[in-house]
Amino acid sequence: MTDNMRQIPRKQWIKFGIVTLLYLLFLIWIRSWLGLVVVPFLFDAYITKLIPWGFWRKSGNKTLRGVMSWVDAIVFALVAVYFVNLYVFQNYQIPSSSLEKSLLVGDYLYVSKLSYGPRVPNTPLSMPLTQHTMPILNCKSYLDWPHWDYKRVPGLGKVKLNDIVVFNFPAGDTVALNNQQEDFYRLAYREGRNLYPNPVNMDSLSKSQQRAILDFYYTEGSKAVRANPQVYGKVVVRPVDRRENYVKRCVGLPGDTLQIIDRQVYIDGAPLPNPENLQFNYFVQTTGPLIPENIFEELGISLDDQMLMNTNAPYDTQWEALGLNRRDNQGRMAPIYHLPLTKAMYDALNSNKRLVSHIVLEPEGPTTDMYPQNMYTKWTSDNYGPLWIPAKGATLHLTEDNLPLYERCITAYEGNRLERRADGIYINGQKTDTYTFKMDYYWMMGDNRHNSLDSRYWGFVPEDHVVGKPLVVWLSLDKDKGWFNGKIRWNRLFKWVGNEGIE
């Protein structure tokens, strides 16, 4: 040991030992020995001090010391936030009403990465506290290189049935920047149908003919979107960890067979317990007057959800067909609202006979938007499936009938090349009729069932897309209220997010 080393205070050796031990434990946890390259720098920072890390502290320039002290603090804060955000928790704001009334628009959540095990980032070089775009500059907030493969470090547990989960949007791998509210695939199919309306009855066609038409819609729609960046925006591809964050409830686990019958979810033939705050859309006709604002406030219906329908001719005939036929003495139809209601909200309105005359459930929507869009199924948001949810290590017999359900899992999520040839199915150039899945998959749905774009529309959530579990609402702001008029929902502050309310 050199004389200089002997002169180093014992306190410095202790600090170095503690920091190095904690860092090595961290590397063991994330199972990455690449991080050992940092150890020599730790040794220098605490012991040898060959690199002048704090050169500015000895400068006679007061301005330099002031500026560098701020730079030092900011860099330390960004590094700390980066690692905390990656491996411990992150903040998440509820942007839409898909989980109302379990979680509200304007809720700010602490999302635990430890609950399911944090992921090692695919794109480690990124700006902290940004998902994919730099504010103001409007450019990418991450570098595509280096790119690390998916790896999840040990956590406290696994996703369970009825857990509320934050995950990266699976269909967000390809995005048209001017239409980010709609995934690229639904956009392409929709534009293809608009370009080439099909007058043929799909029921009269064979499955191969149906598939050919749907594939044509996607191909032509995709070309149209890509050829019009001034309308749709530039089409970009994002890695898994840079796709938008979504939050939904897990209603199907790997290996489950899921089916929805008359809005009730069934798992392996048994009904899944429903959240207490489960909502569906209804048409509510009054006895004549409009519904007072205080009634909406008591029910917790936001301004965005208070939709007053057009009851004038010729729309009045469609309302009468639903049984909403209340008219005044002049023959004018009584007001009709389109409202999302829980069972408790439905009962409260239905019991108010002085105000409400009829409440009817919203009819089933179109089948063309449902997953998979390259398969003709007649499934709807209220009646869907059955379908099997892939499990890691499970082998599936592939057929022309089930291939559309799992094609995206095989190609987009697990990185294989799949071809359909005249003599069968080829994966990575090899003819096969089976596939063994490399990952677990989940089925996610919102509690606000008729107002949730979820797995029914874009399919399975792969395990490498799972971000974490919301633990607590640390702030809740009502966008319909002012700061001095109830904007802060005090009763929701530090409210734990769990599975309470499951019937």
- Please name which of 442, 437, 498, 447 lies closest in space to residue 466, comparing C-alpha atoms: 442
Q: How far apart are the first and last CA of the chain?
A: 69
Give the type of residue at 493. L
Q: Is 114 left (phi over 0), alpha (psi -120 to 50) or beta?
A: alpha
pLDDT given for residue 4 in this prediction: 62
Give the type of residue at 442. Y
Give the type of residue at 165. V
Burial of residue 488, with CB atoms counted within 10 A of its CB: 0-12 exposed, 13-18 middle, 19 or more buried: middle
Q: What angle (nearest 5°) sits at the alpha carbon of residue 462, between those of residues 461 and 463?
A: 120
pLDDT given for residue 2 in this prediction: 58
* Residue 11, phi then psi, degrees to nearest 5: -60, -40
pLDDT given for residue 378 in this prediction: 93
- Please name which of 365, 405, 411 lies closest in space to residue 385, comparing C-alpha atoms: 405
Burial of residue 124, with CB atoms counted within 10 A of its CB: 0-12 exposed, 13-18 middle, 19 or more buried: middle
Q: Is 270 left (phi over 0), alpha (psi -120 to 50) or beta?
A: beta
Alpha helices in 300-390 (DSSP H): 316-321, 343-350
Question: Are residues 101 and 447 in contact, defined by beta-carbon separation less than 8 angstroms?
Answer: yes
Task: Kindly tell me the sign of the dihedral angle through the C-alpha atoms of 395, 397, 398, 401.
Answer: negative
DSSP-assigned states of every residue in 39-65: HHHHHIIIII--S-TTGGGG-S-HHHH
Cis peptide before 372 (omega within 30 of 0): yes
- Report the distance separating Cα 346 and Cα 55, nearest Å: 69
- Predicted TM-score (pTM) of the model is 0.92
- Report the distance separating Cα 446 and Cα 165, nearest Å: 11
Is 85 strand, coil or helix?
helix
Alpha helices in 283-336 (DSSP H): 293-299, 316-321
Task: Kindly tell me the sign of the dihedral angle through the C-alpha atoms of 484, 489, 491, 493.
Answer: negative
Structure tokens of 92? 């998440």
Name the one residue in this structure whose structure tokens are 């029910």: 299
- Which residues are paired to 359 by β-bridges? 284
Is 36 strand, coil or helix?
helix
DSSP state at residue 352? -
Structure tokens of 7? 């002169």
Give the type of residue at 268. D
- Report the distance separating Cα 43 and Cα 290, nearest Å: 73
Q: Which residues, 6+ apart, have CB-to-CB distance to 416 below 8 Å?
A: 410, 427, 428
pLDDT given for residue 198 in this prediction: 76
Structure tokens of 211? 């598939």
Q: What angle (nearest 5°) sits at the alpha carbon of residue 272, between those of residues 266 and 276?
A: 135
Question: Are residues 448 and 249 in contact, defined by beta-carbon separation less than 8 angstroms?
Answer: no
User: Would you give per-residue pLDDT tens digits along the chain (503 residues)?
Assistant: 555 666 788 899 999 999 999 999 999 998 888 889 999 999 988 888 888 888 888 888 889 888 989 998 888 888 888 888 889 999 999 888 888 888 999 999 999 999 999 999 999 999 888 999 999 888 999 999 999 999 999 999 999 999 999 999 999 999 999 998 889 999 999 999 999 987 788 889 998 899 999 999 999 999 999 999 999 999 999 999 999 999 999 999 999 999 999 999 999 999 999 999 999 999 999 999 999 999 999 999 999 999 999 999 999 999 999 999 999 888 999 999 999 999 999 999 999 999 999 999 999 988 888 999 999 999 999 999 999 999 999 999 999 999 999 999 999 999 999 999 989 999 999 999 999 999 999 999 999 999 999 999 999 999 999 999 999 999 999 999 999 888 999 999 999 997 655 55
- Report the distance separating Cα 344 and Cα 274, nearest Å: 14
Q: Which residues, 6+ apart, have CB-to-CB distance to 84 below 8 Å?
A: none
Number of C-beta neighbours around residue 226 at 10 A: 14
Burial of residue 145, with CB atoms counted within 10 A of its CB: 0-12 exposed, 13-18 middle, 19 or more buried: exposed
pLDDT given for residue 326 in this prediction: 94
- Please name which of 351, 139, 96 lies closest in space to residue 242, comparing C-alpha atoms: 139
pLDDT given for residue 502 in this prediction: 57
- Report the distance separating Cα 479 and Cα 502, nearest Å: 28
Burial of residue 474, with CB atoms counted within 10 A of its CB: 0-12 exposed, 13-18 middle, 19 or more buried: middle
